[in-house]
Amino acid sequence: MTDQNVQIIDTHQRMKKMRKGAGPVSYVILILYAAIIILPFLIVISTSFKTWQEASSTVFHLFPSEGFDASGYSEVFTYKANQDAAMPTLIKSFLNTLLYIIPPTVLGLFTSAIAGYAFAKLRFRAKNFMYTALLATMMIPGIICLAPTFSIYDMIGWVDTPYPLMIPGMFGAAACVFFMRQFYMGIPDSLVEAAKIDGAGYFSIFFRIMVPLSVPALMAQGVLGFVGGYNDYFNPLIYLQSSDLYNLQVALRVFAGVFRMRPNVVMAGTLSALVPTLILYFVAQNYFVEGIVTSGIKQ
Amino acid sequence: MNSKTNENVATNVNAPLGKKRMAKANRREAVAGTLMASVPLIGFVIFGLIPLILALRMAFFKITGYEIFSGKNVGFENFAGVFEDPTFWKALWNTVRLGVSTIISQVFALLIAYLLSKNPKGKKAFRIIYFVPYVCSVVAITLMWKYMFNTNYGIINIVLGRTGDNAIDWMGDSAYFSWAVIIMSVWSGMGYGIILYTAAFTNVNKSMLEAAKIDGANEFVTFFKVILPSISSTSFYLLIMGVIGALQSFAVTNVLAPAGGPNNDGVTVVFWLYRRVIEYDNMLGIASAGAWVLAMIIMVITAAQFLISKKWVSYD
């Protein structure tokens, strides 16, 4: 045993030595690329604090040379597209966004997870058929339903309401079901059997055993779902027509049009819209990576 | 001996009851399972299957306004309308051209992920930075680049020394517009590839790498003969996903050029569809036919991906 250990340590060290580390060229490339990613953000930040004259001049200074000007941000937090509106447009649209995406994200996660649990652990006759049908739905590009879906929503009075953005997501998503099923397959049956002997029903097994065990997986799907909804532009653009219903992305684009002659204001709006996702990303960084990798590898 | 007989008797007595109980338990399990699994499928039937069937009908009907249940059957007239529409072909061509960014960003992502796999100092920090564009909204990123591409005061023209009279009109000149979109897309699309390639690199067989080293293979040969083949499934997945994503792109060009861009260069297929569903009147039939053409292209690519990756992926 000791012999083996020594051998393992030996090969390990040899491998370490043999493995070429990152040379100077690698560092140059990695740092250069990091700079290419960071620079545009620095330009946005810097521009957002400039006067509009400096923001639209042909001389570029990273640090505002005509003094800091926060008027861009005061427009972001006070501009009202509609004089009678109770709240500034971008604030209202941010709250709208939260209202539109949190319920479907949470509920959709729940319905997907419970379906994933059923596909992973329960026996029922239609299981294979239902699972295949669900996977098949992932092959159909959603864009094909645009015209009929819009027409139906128009008929039932859902156009210019947030329902088209909220209700469908509450039923869960095939990709999320698939992901959660994979996760629950990895949980040993013995845990489930033990709970069954204790007389626990299937729903209580799900809530008491499966949910606590799958918190990281649920978080990974949750943050991805949240950011996807927060950043959505196409659906809100189609279904929301009155400006007080706009979500943040649509409102931001309209805002950028209104202030197109004052780039400092546009950049202040852009940055303000990015901050919530950036904070979430830096806090929950590992969940993002895990969510991407596992859902990327699945197919 | 005595106890064993007792046990046997006991089981025998209980057997019918046990079976009944088992059957009941199985039924309960079946009911619970079906209930739990059915919600996403019900959602699909309502929000996917019904519209899909309607989309099929609409593609063959002449429809007025949004009255999709009425109209006259016109056979393949809508499809003819799609194929005779030069803007549809233009949109398809634009989409393909913009899809070039997929390949460029994939090659760069591979390079960066490879360098990261050498475990440089600060690997984690690099990864966090590289992934930032992926979580940012397309609208915000597009506004950011639109400012940098501005003809009169954009930093890109300033850096290139093209200000004043010989300034490049990135948003208005057909020769440059696509390049602006490609540069933007590569910048924002690389993070995803880097994450997936990084994961793929950790799965490359270590003993094969060592064998290559012992055989005296240099880094170049190792990369092309050992590493690249063993991450082929990731490359293929990224390529297909990129092409499908490009085929469905809309937001970037819509924010950059709401009117379609110079020479309609910014009109993607989804942009084309959007106009026919939302902006133009009485075009739903043609829109549906166009959507089917797009969907067929996507489904063929998806199916090809599914079949080919089954052949390629090696689970060792």
Q: Which domains does chain A have, with CATH numbers?
A: 23-69 (no CATH), 89-297 (1.10.3720.10)
The whole model's pTM is what?
A: 0.86
Q: If contacts are CB pairs under 8 Å, which of residues 102-131 in chain B contact chain A?
A: 111-112, 115-116, 118-121, 126-131
Point out the residue among B41, B158, B298 whose CB comes nearest to the CB of A133.
B41
Neighbour tally for A8: CB within 10 Å = 10
Smallest CA-to-CA distance from B264 within B95, B99, B147, B103 is with B95
CB B178 within 8 A of CB B265: yes
- Distance from the Cα of B175 to chain A's closest Cα (Å) equals 23
Please, which residues have CB within 8 angstroms of residue A195's CB and are 6 or more apart in sequence?
A: A204, A205, A208, A209
- Distance from the Cα of A143 to chain B's closest Cα (Å) equals 7
- Model pLDDT for residues A244-253, shown as the tens digit of each residue: 999 999 999 9
Contacts of A117 in chain B (CB under 8 A): 36
pLDDT of residue B212: 84
CB A225 within 8 A of CB A291: no
Residue of chain A whose alpha carbon sits nearest to that of B213: A18
pLDDT of residue A8: 54
Higher pLDDT: B25 or A216? It is: A216
Which residue in the block uniquely carries the two structure tokens 């990129």?
B242
CB A270 within 8 A of CB A44: yes
pLDDT of residue B148: 95
Higher pLDDT: A293 or A86? It is: A86
pLDDT of residue A10: 54
User: Is the confidence at residue A299, as pLDDT, over 50?
Assistant: no
- Distance from the Cα of B74 to chain A's closest Cα (Å) equals 18
Q: Is B277 on the interface with A (CB under 8 A)?
A: yes
CA distance A219 to A183: 13
CA distance B300 to B315: 25
Residue of chain A whose alpha carbon sits nearest to that of B58: A148
Query: To the nearest whole number, what is the mean pLDDT of chain A?
Result: 88
In this complex, do B273 and A146 lie within 8 Å of one another by their Cβ atoms?
Answer: yes
Q: If contacts are CB pairs under 8 Å, which of residues 66-95 in chain B contact chain A?
A: 66-68
Helices (H), chain A: 2-18, 24-48, 52-55, 71-78, 89-121, 127-137, 146-155, 163-170, 174-185, 189-197, 202-205, 211-213, 215-231, 234-239, 248-258, 263-283, 285-297
User: Is the confidence at residue A254, as pLDDT, over 80?
Assistant: yes
- Distance from the Cα of B191 to chain A's closest Cα (Å) equals 10
pLDDT of residue A6: 53
pLDDT of residue B209: 82
Instruction: Name the band, by pLDDT with cuts 50, 70 and 90, for residue A12.
Output: low
In this complex, do A122 and B291 lie within 8 Å of one another by their Cβ atoms?
Answer: no
Contacts of A143 in chain B (CB under 8 A): 248, 270, 273, 291, 294-295
Contacts of B197 in chain A (CB under 8 A): none
Paired tokens of A90: 């971008």
- Model pLDDT for residues A36-51, shown as the tens digit of each residue: 999 999 999 999 999 9
Residue of chain B whose alpha carbon sits nearest to that of A151: B66
pLDDT of residue B211: 85
In this complex, do A143 and B139 lie within 8 Å of one another by their Cβ atoms?
Answer: no
- Distance from the Cα of A3 to chain B's closest Cα (Å) equals 21
Instruction: Name the band, by pLDDT with cuts 50, 70 and 90, for residue A102.
Output: very high
Higher pLDDT: B5 or A291? It is: A291
Instruction: Name the band, by pLDDT with cuts 50, 70 and 90, for residue A295.
Output: low
Contacts of A288 in chain B (CB under 8 A): 131, 135
b/e code A64-94 from CB counts within 10 Å (16+ = b): beeeebeebbebbeebbbeeeeeebbbbbbb
In this complex, do B52 and A144 lie within 8 Å of one another by their Cβ atoms?
Answer: yes
pLDDT of residue B74: 85
pLDDT of residue B271: 92
pLDDT of residue A246: 95
In this complex, do A201 and B32 lie within 8 Å of one another by their Cβ atoms?
Answer: yes
Q: Is B137 on the interface with A (CB under 8 A)?
A: yes
CB A159 within 8 A of CB A241: yes
Contacts of B55 in chain A (CB under 8 A): 144-145, 147-148
CA distance B142 to B102: 17
**DSSP H/E element including B198:** helix B174-202
Contacts of B28 in chain A (CB under 8 A): 201-202
Q: CB under 8 Å, gap of 24 or more: what pairs does B67-76 form? A: B67/A151, B68/A147, B68/A148, B68/A151, B68/A152, B68/B284, B71/B285, B74/B285
Residue of chain B whose alpha carbon sits nearest to that of A35: B129
Q: Is B284 on the interface with A (CB under 8 A)?
A: yes
Q: If contacts are CB pairs under 8 Å, which of residues 169-208 in chain B contact chain A?
A: 187, 192, 195-196, 199, 206
Three-state DSSP class for B73? Answer: strand
pLDDT of residue A297: 46
Q: How many CB pairs under 8 A join A and B?
A: 302
CA distance B220 to B146: 39
Residues in chain B, pLDDT under 70 = 1-17, 309-316
